[in-house]
Amino acid sequence: MGSKQTVFTHEQLEAYQDNPFRQRIAQVFSEDGDGHMTLDNFLDMFSVMSEMAPRDLKAYYAFKIYDFNNDDYICAWDLEQTVSRLTRGELSAEEVSLVCEKVLDEADGDHDGRLSLEDFQNMILRAPDFLSTFHIRI
Amino acid sequence: MKPSKASQRYRSIRRNANLYQESLFLSNLDDSFNADEAGDSHDPEQIFQNIQFQKDLMANIRCRPWPMGQKLRALRRAKEIVLKFEGRLTRTRGYQAAGAELWRKFARLACNFVVIFIPWEMRIKKIESHFGSGVASYFIFLRWLFGINIMLTVMTSAFIVIPELIAGQPFGSTASKTVPKEHIASAQDLDTVWSLGGYLQYSVLFYGYYGRERRIGRAGYRLPLAYFLVGMAVFAYSFIILLRKMAKNSRTSLASASHENYTFCWRVFCAWDYLIGNPEAAESKTAAIVNSIREAILEEQEKKKSKNLAVTICLRIIANILVLLSLAGSIYLIYFVVDRSQKLEQSKKELTLWEKNEVSVVVSLVTMLAPSAFDLIAALEMYHPRTSLRFQLARVLVLYLGNLYSLIIALLDKVNSMSILEAATKNNTNNRPDSTTFFATRTTSVEEQWSSLQPGMGLRKNSTWALEEASTPTLPMPFTPTNRTSLHHQWPQDQCWETYVGQELLKLSIIDMLFTVASILLIDFFRGLFVRYLSDYWCWDLESTFPEYGEFKIAENVLHLVYNQGMIWMGAFFSPCLPAFNVLKLIGLMYLRSWAVLTCNVPHQQVFRASRSNNFYLSMLLFMLFLCMLPTIFAIVRYKPSLNCGPFSGQEKIYDIVSETIANDFPVWFNRVVGYISSPVVILPALLLLLYLYGPSESMGDIPKSRSCPPVTLKKHLEDVHSESLFQKAFQKGNPPLPRPGASVLAAHGRRPQAPRYDLIREQKAHKNFWPERRFKINASGDIVELYPRNTRPCVPSGPRQALSPQLSDEEEILGRDWTRQAFHPRSLTDLHWAPHFYVGDRTVGQSLAPEDLRRKHCKSWNDGFEDQLAHPVYVPKKPRSRYVQYPQPPLKPRAKPQFEPPLTESDSMSVASSSDQEHSSTDQYLQVVHSHAKNPRPVGQRGRRKAKSGQELTTDLNDLICSNV
């Protein structure tokens, strides 16, 4: 190891965890839903996030990740969460609400004001770069 | 329109998603179900099915959204069951499986390994994270071009330059390889070197250096032949690689044909790159996401803006006039400069540095300045930024092409005038009294082969170049030997027009590079410095008002690359080292540009994604390649190669080398065969056949490696079909329905042809993918007629079209229908070609002659393809119209409608939309045809195309049937 630092401070660890959805990912894949993962859960996570995983599976878990309140629908509140995490709060409130509105407008097939898994899958599976970005390489 | 569209989309979503859910659910159930059942079932049929199911499960275990524990359990159980009932696998199968697994792992490893060697990946990623995908796409394009140029360099250097250097006659051994005595003093002067004269002119850089011996070295390497073949291979390779890339791109980009529908969704849900693990990258990714979302919002607002029409139209007209004027001006300027330099060269002995280089300098200046002028002009027009970007691109492309063309035409003109001069000299020397002094040299010069060919050549040149009516008659038929020798003395190097063209293009390329560097430094770097450091002391805010920081102009830069590559293609034949030079240039450009972008440019305030579609660049490049190939090919075919330099000296035409080789070095029968084959009757169809076959096979090759399992592919396929129909709908809506066939042909032909064609390819490959399953059905049930129509209806993809029809009035409906067909036409055309083919190829394996035969046949029809395309629309609209004459509309419509409502809630086949009144008969008809197809596929398919009333839609339906059945 030489001069390399082997123990990380808390701040450094924080800085290295850049994925805005890291908590959600941990929650979704953990059995108890609070982010504590067993080995199996961990394997699950990497099996889903691997390059080899099929689209549908990825889409299914992506939906779960973006569904912040676990009600099996992505509602406006979930969307706001997503957007604000993505942009680290750089967008103004109006912009965020506009974006949420547009998203719902585009993808909400049954006009119930929220995205179901079906809506989400239909939308995400057509995205050109979903597959290429939704994976983790270790 | 919108709600119906949305609801329709929703329904299709619903169906797809249901399917998926179902499969999840079922598999969940089955899991437990089978576990219970595994032990106690004794019915062999059931056991067999069970085994089949378990095997599927094992193959697709990855697709199930189960937790790991459940997966493991299921897998273990499945394996147990399979083992128990099927007995152990044989040993060879085991080895095979192990080998396949090993190979897969190795391939993956190799893949990972290769990734390391992709050059500039990090650099590009960095740029991507700072400036977004648009700017990065420029660099990716640059890198791709770099790859192509490397290949071209390898080709030219391996087969031309290195053999010549190793085995060719050394420098100074022959006249074409030595610097003439009168020039030797100035051969190392800077301005000589600068204008590529002196030693450079007589080096491997240029055509003129290469020796004319048919075989060189001990191995007898045929250099002239290699020179010619490589020259052609450069073009061929570029074409193939471009088309391949385009096919590949179109496959990926078609998934986003309905791009506009989900702008925001994708920007939110697909924005984050889960690969990012670096805080800095995350920072810039966040910035990029914010940027892209803002851009989307902006675009949304842009849509709502209203403008004053009259003013904008006026402005646009003015702008276009200005653009045209500047185009004409630049072309004239270049022609003028070439003309001037030519005159100067004739009149003056010593040329200044400026006079030597003015052509390339002017060309480079024009190419540098005019785009900015266009940019200013574009500001007048007030288009949506994306539209204006397209306009800008088109204009700049035309400008570049105009430049290159006027340059090359002027150059060839100069070549012509060289020959005039030559002829004039001949006359002069002929009349000279002291000609006898040269007579002594005659005997020696006659020994040289080239001079024995000379008199004839002089004449032929005159006749082919068709310019010098004046000189031809004055030429005396029998040349005295004197002419030849004097000619040889007086025009040794100027005669080598190939070298001259090569020199000129290489010079242009160099000067272009210098200008690029200068413009980067001046426009980006110094401006950046100036703005950055003087801003505090200036009277106004430099950073935000006038000079600002430079923006990276994607469009111009990409076009500049295209232009640059065009130059290379144009000159590669005359200067074999041009690709090598270009490689260096591109490397330099890569580093300089990326440095400049990262240090001095600011991200666009509005990043528009227009440049995302890489096929746009590629199609421009293809266009450029084609147009740059023309002059070279023209020169090769039309002009006689120079007499005393280059590998083809002494030949009548450059391409004679091939026929010569064939005549001398191949057996006689081969010669004769070639004679037949090379007749245009064979060549032309063969070429088209190649082109046609190339596309489909290219895009079909990819499918097997898609790592998916049946339910997934099924969905994917449906998706494709849907997106395609959506796309078509958009197309229909965008263009007003045109009743006239001629106009529709234009519409179908003009801009689109690529898109629909690739469409089908996608679809076909989907079909192919599904074929086995379908066949299985046929085999199992045996009764196709029963099976097909019933299964099909809910799934046939062209849903939206139906929604269109009820809202139109009768008249409109007719038009709309016609249009529908025409819009659909290309698809059905190819479907026609392919449908029978698939039948034969896959189903009735026994028919040996069929596939080949068919292939040829449908290629033939592709050949007259355009005739086909022309013929169809003319012939198609007639049918519905005549039908309408026979059947009055209003009473029929309600009758047809309810009849079909129940089974097709949301779709359906074009037949509904296109001929609702004929529903009955149409259904019957296609039942019948399906039947006969199954029996005797080929003839019906062929005949059906031409004759059967609705043959077109039948086969389309057939295809739909195939896909929907799965």
Residue of chain A whose alpha carbon sits nearest to that of B287:
A87
* Mean per-residue pLDDT over chain B, rounded: 63
CA B830/CA B731 separation, integer angstroms: 19
Task: Return the higher-pLDDT residue of B589 and A30.
Answer: B589
| Confidence class for position B598, pLDDT limits 50, 70, 90 | confident
Inspect the interface and report whether the beta carbons of A57 and B716 lie closer than 8 Å. Answer: no
Q: Which of A96-105, B117-126, B235-244, B876-885 has the highest mean pLDDT?
A: B235-244
Q: What percent of chain B has pLDDT over 70?
A: 52
Return the SS3 of A74: strand
pLDDT digits (tens, 9 = 90+) for B392-419: 878 888 888 888 888 888 888 877 777 6
Is A16 in Cβ contact with B265 (below 8 Å)? no
Q: Which of B253, B265, B724 to mutate to test the interface with A (most CBs of A within 10 A)?
A: B265
pLDDT attached to residue A20? 79
Q: Do A123 and B276 touch (CB under 8 A)?
A: no
> Which pLDDT belongs to residue B825?
41
* Contact (CB, 8 A) for B556 and B371: yes
User: For residue B869, is pLDDT > 90?
Assistant: no
Distance from CA of A58 to the nearest CA of B (A): 9
A88 CA to chain B: closest CA distance, Å? Answer: 7
In the DSSP assignment, the letter for residue B434 is: G
**Number of neighbouring beta carbons within 10 Å of residue B781:** 10
Nearest to A138 by CA among A51, A67, A75: A51
pLDDT score recorded for residue A35? 75
Distance CA B900, CA B923 (A): 11
Instruction: State whether residue B610 is helix, strand or coil.
Output: helix
Dump pLDDT digits (tens) for B636-694. 888 888 777 878 877 788 888 887 887 777 777 877 787 777 777 777 777 777 776 66
pLDDT tens digits, B469-520: 333 333 333 333 333 333 333 444 456 788 888 888 898 899 889 989 998 8
How close does chain B come to A96, measured CA to CA in Å?
A: 9
Q: What is the 3-state secondary structure (H, E, C) of B190-223?
A: HHHHHCCCHHHHCCCCCHHHCCCCCCECCCCECH
Does residue B809 have a pLDDT over 50?
no
Give the helix ranges, DSSP H, for A1-138. 10-16, 22-29, 39-49, 55-66, 76-87, 93-107, 117-124, 130-133
Dig out the tokens for B394 from the structure: 């088109």
Give the one of A40, A82, A95 whose C-beta lies nearest to B297's C-beta: A95
Query: Which residues contact residue B442 at a Cβ distance below 8 angstroms, ignoring those fewer than 6 apart?
Result: B481, B482, B484, B485
Q: Which of residues 262-301 of B touch A (CB under 8 A)?
A: 262-266, 268-279, 281-282, 286, 289-290, 293-294, 296-297, 300
Q: B874-884 pLDDT, tens per residue?
A: 333 333 343 33
Contacts of B268 in chain A (CB under 8 A): 79, 82-83, 86, 99, 103
Angle subtended at Cα B747 by Cα B744 and Cα B751, rounded to the nearest 5 degrees:
160
How far is residue B567's CA from residue B404's CA, in Å, rounded to a whole number?
A: 7
Task: Please write down the long-range contacts of B772-778, taking CB distance under 8 Å and 24 or more positions apart.
Answer: B773/B710, B773/B965, B773/B966, B774/B962, B774/B965, B774/B966, B775/B842, B775/B843, B777/B965, B778/B843, B778/B934
B148 pLDDT tier (thresholds 50, 70, 90): very high
- Percent of residues, chain A, with pLDDT higher than 70: 80
* CA nearest to A58, candidates A71, A70, A44: A44
Asked whether residue B440 carries a pLDDT value surpassing 90, the answer given is no
Q: Tell me the C-alpha to C-alpha distance, in Å, between residue B507 and each of B201, B217, B581, B757.
A: 12, 32, 11, 41
- Alpha-carbon distance of B300 to B744, in angstroms, equals 32
DSSP letters spanning B408-423: HHHHHHHHHHHHHHHH
The more confidently predicted of residues B610 and B694 is: B694
Q: What are phi and psi of B790, to 5 degrees?
A: -65, -45
| B20 chain-A contacts, CB cut-off 8 A | 56, 121
Describe the crossing of helices B554-571 and B385-431 by its angle, rounded to 10 degrees: 30
- For residue B56, whether the previous peptide bond is cis, meaning omega lies within 30 degrees of 0, is no
Q: Which residues pair with B550 in a beta bridge?
A: B601
Lowest mean pLDDT among B461-470, B572-581, B655-664: B461-470
Confidence of residue B259 (pLDDT cuts 50, 70, 90): low
| Bridge partners, residue B221, by sequence | B216
Write out the H or E segment, with its range, that includes residue B671: helix B668-677
Alpha carbon B580 to chain centroid, angstroms: 23
How far is CA B762 from each of CA B36, B251, B701, rounded to the nearest angstrom?
Answer: 42, 7, 11
Q: Specify the pLDDT at position B308.
A: 67
Please say if the pLDDT value at position A90 is more than 60. Answer: yes
Tell me the pLDDT band of B155, cut-offs 50, 70 and 90. Answer: very high
pLDDT at res. B589: 92
Q: Please state, for a pLDDT cut of 90, what percent of chain B lies above it.
A: 5
Candidates B224, B220, B221, B219; CA nearest to B209 is: B224
- What's the pLDDT band for B15 if we cut at 50, 70, 90? very low
DSSP sequence for B560-598: HHHHHHHHHHHHTTT-TTHHHHHHHHHHHHHHHHHHHHH
Q: Does A19 contact B276 at a Cβ distance shorter than 8 Å?
A: yes
Q: A60 to chain B: nearest residue by CA? A: B65
- ipTM of the predicted assembly exceeds 0.85: no
Structural tokens at position B559 = 């076009």
pLDDT in tens, B22-41: 444 444 444 444 444 444 55
Q: Which residues of A79-97 are buried (b: 16+ CB within 10 A; e: fewer)?
A: bbbbbebbbeebbeeebbe
Which residues in chain A are contacts of B262 at CB distance < 8 A? 106-107, 123, 126-127
Residues in chain B: 966
Residue B714: closest C-alpha in chain A? A56
**Residues of B with CB below 8 A from A44's CB?**
67-68
How far apart CA B419 and CA B494 sit, in angstroms, is 10
**CA-based nearest residue in chain A for residue B10:** A109
- Interface with chain A: mutation pick from B20, B70, B268, highest number of A CBs within 10 Å: B268
3-class secondary-structure state, position B117: coil
Residues 720-749 of B with CB under 8 A from A: 723
Contacts with A97 from chain B: Cβ below 8 Å:
none
Give the model confidence (pLDDT) of B308-341 as tens digits.
Answer: 677 878 888 888 888 889 888 888 888 888 888 7
Answer yes or no: do A123 and B64 touch at CB < 8 A.
no
- From chain B, the residues in CB contact with A99 under 8 A are 264, 268, 293, 296-297
| Angle (nearest 5°) at CA B622 between B618 and B624 | 115
For B550, phi then psi, to 5°, come to: -70, 150
Count of other CB atoms within 10 angstroms of residue A53? 19
Asked if B903 and B802 touch (Cβ cutoff 8 Å), the reply is no
CB spacing of B262 vs A57 below 8 angstroms: no
Q: Are B661 and B228 in contact (CB under 8 A)?
A: no
* Burial of A4 per CB tally in 10 Å (0-12, 13-18, 19+): exposed
What is the rounded average pLDDT of the residues B956-962?
39
Which residue in chain A has the smallest CA separation from B251? A128
Q: Characterize the bridge pairing of strands B550-551 and B601-602.
A: parallel
- Model pLDDT, residue B715: 38
β-sheet bridge partners, residue B602: B551
Q: CA of A12 to nearest chain B CA: how many angstroms apart?
A: 10
Chain B residue with minimum CA distance to A117: B17
> Quick one: pLDDT band at residue B290, thresholds 50, 70, 90?
confident
Q: Mutating which of A118, A119, A138 best tests the B interface, going by the most B Cβ atoms within 10 A?
A: A118
Distance in angstroms (rounded) separating the CA atoms of residues B100 and B485: 72
Q: Do A119 and B708 touch (CB under 8 A)?
A: no
Which among B255, B268, B273 has the least Cβ separation from residue A99? B268
Q: Which residues pair with A74 in a beta bridge?
A: A115
Query: What single letter denotes the amino acid at residue B774?
Result: R
Contact A124 B709 (CB under 8 A): no
pLDDT above 70 for B170: yes
pLDDT class for B785, splitting at 50, 70, 90? very low
Average pLDDT over residues B49-54: 80
Extract the tokens encoding B684.
Answer: 């032309």
User: What is the C-alpha separation between B380 and B854, in angstroms, rounded?
Assistant: 55
CA distance A17 to chain B (A): 7
Q: Which of B262, B271, B716 lies nearest to residue A106, judging by beta carbons?
A: B262
| Distances B136 to B140, B358, B563, B614 between C-alpha atoms, Å | 6, 35, 19, 11
- Residues in A closer than 8 angstroms to B277, CB to CB, are 16, 18-19
* Triad B892, B739, B723: Cα angle to 5°: 80
Average pLDDT of the segment spanning B213-241: 86
Rounded to whole angstroms, the Cα distance separating B703 from B721 reads: 16
Residue A54 has pLDDT above 50, yes or no: yes
SS3 readout for B692-740: HHHHHHHHHCCHHHCCCCHHHHHHHHHHHHHHHHHHHHHHHHHCCCCCC
Residue B98's CB is within 10 A of a number of other CB atoms, namely 10
**Positive or negative torsion for Cα B412, B416, B417, B421:** positive
Q: What is the C-alpha to C-alpha distance for residues B156 and B145, in angstroms, rounded to an integer? A: 16
Length of chain A: 138
Higher model confidence: residue A11 or residue B327?
B327
The token duo for B289 is 């996401």
Segments of B566-684 assigned E as strands: 601-602
**Tokens standing for residue B317:** 């007209």
Alpha-carbon distance values, B586 to B143, B149, B361, B365 (Å): 8, 9, 20, 20
Closest chain A C-alpha to B825 CA, distance in angstroms: 25
Answer whether B866 touches A (CB < 8 Å).
no
The pLDDT of residue B591 is above 90: yes
The SS3 of residue A129 is coil
For B269, which residue in chain A has the nearest alpha carbon? A124
pLDDT for the residue B280: 63
pTM, 2 dp: 0.57
**In which band, very low, low, confident or very high, does the pLDDT at B934 lie, cut at 50, 70 and 90?**
very low
Nearest CA in chain A to B289: A87
Contact indicator for B593, B142 with CB cutoff of 8 Å: yes
pLDDT at B585 > cutoff 90: yes
Among the listed ranges B91-105, B227-241, B560-574, which one has the minimum average pLDDT value? B91-105
Interface test mutation site (partner B, options A31, A122, A123, max chain B beta carbons within 10 A): A122
Sign of CA dihedral B490, B494, B496, B499: positive
Residue A106 pLDDT = 81
Which of A55, A87, A119 comes nearest B293 by C-beta?
A87
Check A118 against B264: CB less than 8 A apart: no
Contacts of B454 (CB under 8 A, 6+ apart): B479, B483, B484, B487, B643
Q: Which two three-digit tokens encode residue B958?
A: 């057939």
